[in-house]
Amino acid sequence: MSPEELVPVLWEATAETAQMVLWSTLLTAVFGLPIGVLLVTTGRGGLTPLPALNAVLGAVVNIGRSLPFIVLMVAILPFTRLITGTTIGTVAAIVPLTLGAVPFYARLVESAVRGVSREVVEAAQAMGARRVTVVLKVLLPETLPALVAGLTVTVVALIGYSAMAGAIGGGGLGDLAIRYGYQRFDTTVMVITVVLLIVIVQLVQSLGDLLARRLSHR
Amino acid sequence: MYDTGVVALDGVDLDVREGEIFGVLGQSGAGKSTLLRCVNLLERPTSGTVTVDGQDLTVLGDAELRRARRRIGMIHQHFALLSSRTVAANVAFPLEVAKVPRAERRARVAELLELVGLDGKAKSYPAQLSGGQKQRVGIARALAARPKVLLSDEATSALDPGTTQSILALLRRLNAELGLTILLITHEMHVIKSICDSAAIMREGRVLESGRVHDLIARPGSQLTRELFPLPEPAPPGSLTVTFPAGQAEEPVLSGLVRKFGVDVNILGGSLEELRGVSVGRLRIRMEGEDTAAALAYLRGRGLLVEEETP
């Protein structure tokens, strides 16, 4: 490809990757956060022990975690169609991306929330705090740096998944590398996309680290 | 009782009087932490009642219990501060929970930080403070909602000896100035020694003895006395163990004994302690001579507690 052709193609692919990753990150945070918190609070010795709900939640999260992303993506095609009306394209790719990342992030949230000492939680309860207050004013603020760090890891994973989503017409940089770089033997495109992906991941990670450090007062 | 079926507390009956500092002494695993957490129902006893300030907490509903807990402050071994909040915001936390308006919160926080000697640290984060300063924040926070009772869960156990003394002095001062009733648990005898009016000794979920410290010392066979004044146990046959209760330790009793009854007194061991400014001691002696019976009566007549070890 000539540079004149390459630039708009690269630009479009980057925008598609950004769109897929940003939306699925947002949705992952929205669903993953409460699930992760519930995994802790409904567990043994939690704020509201609900063993049945905890077991079901844990099992569902494990199922989500045990499917390779490419299998998950294909397996839930009917669900994707139900939600977005299509199984092809960038928007359709957001559904499997979110579904793949939610269990992953929920586990990260779970382990972060578990890191809050029992003594701190009890201190809040001893002050007469309601359980919802303990979650909103103790558990979440205390784990915020870890939640941000976890989300950073999730974004990086989503960038990787989004390359696979290209296989069902999601577009993006991964798709570009496969179609031009691999299938058409265009080494230039391959090298450029690889470098671009590396740069994006580095940027995301550095930004996440910086933010987590800024938020931490430990 | 935990759901594992382990009995952590069994038949515990404690009465903490208003305005006193009551210390529960015990090794780890004795059940004292469970006992303390029963007072604000962080741990709910399977049977029995918990009455704080005339109110039985075990019959309260959720909302009422939360309100009652605001009247009971608590400090913790590892301080339990929120690392994400500044010192001022930590102290303000119980006030937020109690929905106190912002302006009022701010004024109260300034007042509390001055009370515990931390003015100027309002904007620091807990991670920037020393252990002693962190516990001062913990104390300020516990007092924010003006509780009548303060529960202290090994509050000085993570501190070095000097810092421990300054925190104990602060607790003593708050007790005197605010009329604050303090129930503390500890595994350190010197905490009981330096600030407690009353004490209980716990072992394996039971209270061995409890009462005013000076009353306990005057009681024969007291475990507290034995731990306070360690002497080789068991006492050798024929020896006498004499406990000098409050004020008596300064009297020249032994020389009087020798002069009046012509007995020989051999000192085997002894120790003297200052309990909240009053000297108290325990002495082990062997007495030989003509009139030991009269000498013994003389000692007892002076208000000393004499325990004889039969030869």
Verify whether the Cβ–Cβ distance A117 to B97 is below 8 Å. no
Structural domain boundaries of chain A? 3-215
Verify whether the Cβ–Cβ distance B70 to A129 is below 8 Å. no
Distant-in-sequence contacts of B168-173, Cβ < 8 A, 24+ apart: B168/B194, B168/B195, B170/B116, B170/B117, B170/B136, B170/B139, B171/B21, B171/B139, B171/B195, B172/B21
More confident residue, B6 or B274: B274
Which amino acid appears at position A123 of this protein? A
How does pLDDT run across A191-218, given as a tens digit for each residue?
Answer: 999 999 999 999 999 999 999 999 999 8
Mean pLDDT of A1-17: 88
pLDDT at position B6, please? 66
Give the count of beta carbons closer than 10 Å to the beta carbon of residue A2.
6
Mean pLDDT of B123-148: 96
Verify whether the Cβ–Cβ distance B81 to A117 is below 8 Å. no
Compute the half-sphere exposure of residue A30: CA atoms within 13 Å on the CB side of its CA: 8
Based on the domain organization, do B211 and B237 belong to the same domain?
no
Based on the domain organization, do B203 and B67 belong to the same domain?
yes
Tell me if B50 is assigned to some domain.
yes
pLDDT band at B1 (very low <50, low <70, confident <90, very high): very low
pLDDT band at B233 (very low <50, low <70, confident <90, very high): confident
Q: How large a percentage of chain B has pLDDT more than 90? A: 56
* Spatial CB neighbours of A73, under 8 Å, sequence gap ≥ 6: A96, A100, A164, A165, A167, A168
Mean pLDDT of B118-123: 94
3-state secondary structure string across A101-156: HHHHHHHHHHHHHHCCCHHHHHHHHHCCCCHHHHHHHHHHHHHHHHHHHHHHHHHH
Q: How large a percentage of chain B has pLDDT more than 70? A: 97
Q: What is the pTM of this model?
A: 0.88
Tell me if B11 is assigned to some domain.
no
Q: Which residues of B touch A148 (CB under 8 A)?
A: none
Tell me if B31 is assigned to some domain.
yes
CB A212 within 8 A of CB A145: yes
Q: Is the peptide bond before B234 cis (omega within 30 degrees of 0)?
A: yes
CATH number at residue B149: 3.40.50.300
Based on the domain organization, do B254 and B151 belong to the same domain?
no
The region of weakest confidence among A27-36, A40-49, B123-132, B247-256 is B247-256
pLDDT at position B311, please? 67
Between CA B249 and CA A43 the distance in angstroms is 57
Based on the domain organization, do B239 and B153 belong to the same domain?
no
Verify whether the Cβ–Cβ distance A218 to B83 is below 8 Å. yes
What CATH class has A3-215? mainly alpha
Based on the domain organization, do B31 and B169 belong to the same domain?
yes
Structure tokens at B10: 């069994």
Inform me whether the pLDDT recorded for A32 exceeds 90: yes
Inform me whether the pLDDT recorded for A185 exceeds 60: yes
Nearest-by-Cβ selection for A126 from B42, B67, B84: B42
Based on the domain organization, do B207 and B180 belong to the same domain?
yes
Q: How many angstroms away from the CA of B213 is the closest CA of chain A?
A: 29
Domain span at B90: 21-217
Mutation site, A127, A130, A137, interface B, largest B CB count within 10 A: A127
A138 contacts chain B (CB < 8 A): yes
How do B149-153 and B181-186 pair as beta strands? parallel
How does pLDDT run across B66-108, given as a tens digit for each residue?
Answer: 999 999 999 999 999 999 999 999 999 999 999 999 999 999 9
Mean pLDDT of A47-57: 95
Based on the domain organization, do B37 and B169 belong to the same domain?
yes
Inform me whether the pLDDT recorded for A163 exceeds 90: no
Q: Whose structure tokens read 């059940």?
A: B31
Based on the domain organization, do B278 and B211 belong to the same domain?
no
Number of folded domains that form chain B: 2
Mark which of B217, B244, B263 sits at the end of a domain.
B217
Q: Whose structure tokens read 């590396």?
A: A198
CATH number at residue B239: 3.30.70.260
pLDDT band at B2 (very low <50, low <70, confident <90, very high): very low
pLDDT at position B3, please? 45
pLDDT at position A45, please? 86
How does pLDDT run across B234-264, given as a tens digit for each residue?
Answer: 888 888 898 887 777 677 788 888 888 888 8
Tell me if B12 is assigned to some domain.
no
Nearest-by-Cβ selection for A119 from B67, B76, B85: B76
Between CA A147 and CA A25 the distance in angstroms is 13
pLDDT at position A204, please? 96
Between CA A127 and CA B156 the distance in angstroms is 20
pLDDT at position B292, please? 83
Mutation site, B60, B77, B83, B95, interface A, largest A CB count within 10 A: B83
Inform me whether the pLDDT recorded for A147 exceeds 70: yes
- CA end-to-end span of chain A: 52
The region of weakest confidence among A14-18, A119-123, B268-272 is B268-272
How does pLDDT run across B174-217, given as a tens digit for each residue?
Answer: 999 999 999 999 999 999 989 999 999 999 889 999 999 988 88
| Chain centroid to CA B247 | 21
B57 contacts chain A (CB < 8 A): no
